[in-house]
Structure 1
Amino acid sequence: MSPRIAAHLCKVGVHFDLVSHAHTRNSKQSAAAAQLPLEKIAKAIIVCDEDRYRMCVIPAHHRLMLDRVNTHMHSHYRLATEEELASLFDDCEVGAVPALGQVYGMPVSWDEELNDTQDIYIESGDHEHLIHLNHGAFLELMGGQDHFQMSCPEDDHLSWMIH
């Protein structure tokens, strides 16, 4: 687990469990390795508007709709590059960004879809553990962070291209 994430969770005092799984490369593989439904995994996507970064937390089986983020935030965000992610999350493995941007001094917006999820699992900063949070702990960690519908199921995102 990322040292900063571990320190933050202890400081805040929320209850969490650490779930070990075989080494994976992304949230979908982590869900499969931990034998968890994909809809219980919350993944972090980092967007950037000039030099301002923001973390968007969405269900792992969804796709971020950047146009909704930009409309809601009145901004021109783009996806952060791998190089930017490595610099921002220097105590995490590439591709294992924990959904706790506030630990890294970054504002967080989270998807409304997660409001209906009772058990949420987030990356821990490595590719072999997930952090399990109940709904109350997740909401406590999100605090007063902005939340709105910013994603759609991956299949829905492309359906307009098929018809």
Structure 2
Amino acid sequence: MTIAKRLKSHLESQGVSYETVSHPRTATASETAEAAHIPGDRLAKSVAIHLEDGHVLAVVPSSHRVDLSALQGLLDRRLGLASETEVKEIFDDCDVGAAPPVGAAYGVPVVMDESLRGLDRVWFEGGDHRTLVSVAGADFDRLMKEARTGAFGHRT
């Protein structure tokens, strides 16, 4: 099991202990949570958002979807989903759809749903569709300390 080089380097530079969890290849974050036998509200999924002047990474539990209207209201900016080409450029060492939520490793600001703060443990994609990274909740909170938080995820 391997994780994306930039993610691994960032975790190590921040002194974050992590474990990797392998799972069968999945197409959606909800399928990943089920395949890996972890709670969907503890699997952080990333959605790349296009802004007029750049990008932001929206992070919600896998059991939720990003409410673009709520996110637009929170950011007070016009936005839309980033294209696949944009995602490939930002997360150039990751498979499309398997971007980790740690935007600092990629120079992308993060906005995170408040439901992901203060958990005991958090899992997230490691850069491919077969490997999750597991970190203590306190470490995840520290990794996301620069993230703006709000309520913009809605249970699917």
- What TM-score bracket applies, with the shorter chain setting the length? over 0.9
Select which of 26, 51, 57 maps to 1:55. Answer: 57
User: 1:108 is matched with which residue?
Assistant: 110
Work out whether residues 40 and 121 of structure 1, in 8 Å CA contact, stay in contact via their aligned partners in 2: yes
Work out whether residues 26 and 96 of structure 1, in 8 Å CA contact, stay in contact via their aligned partners in 2: no
Matched residue of 1:69: which SS? helix
Select which of 145, 149, 152 maps to 2:151. Answer: 149
User: 2:129 is matched with which residue?
Assistant: 127
**What are structure 2's unaligned runs of at least 5 residues?**
none
Aligned residue identity for 1:73 = L
Moved more, 19-28 or 7-16: 19-28
TM-score by length of 2: 0.93
CA distance in 2, matches of 1:50, 1:128: 33
Aligned residue identity for 2:62 = A
Work out whether residues 45 and 55 of structure 1, in 8 Å CA contact, stay in contact via their aligned partners in 2: yes
User: 1:10 is matched with which residue?
Assistant: 12
CA distance in 2, matches of 1:116, 1:60: 17
| Greater helix fraction, Structure 1 or Structure 2 | 1
Cα offset, 1:25, TM superposition: 2.2
Cα offset, 1:116, TM superposition: 4.7
CA distance in 1, matches of 2:25, 2:113: 27
User: 1:83 is matched with which residue?
Assistant: 85
TM-score by length of 1: 0.90
Moved more, 137-146 or 19-28: 19-28
Aligned residue identity for 1:146 = R
2:46 matched to 1:21?
no
User: 1:157 is matched with which residue?
Assistant: none
Work out whether residues 42 and 119 of structure 2, in 8 Å CA contact, stay in contact via their aligned partners in 1: yes
Work out whether residues 118 and 141 of structure 2, in 8 Å CA contact, stay in contact via their aligned partners in 1: no
2:42 matched to 1:40?
yes
**What are structure 1's unaligned runs of at least 5 residues?**
155-163
Q: Which has the larger radius of gyration?
A: 1
Backbone CA RMSD of aligned residues: 1.2
Work out whether residues 119 and 138 of structure 2, in 8 Å CA contact, stay in contact via their aligned partners in 1: no
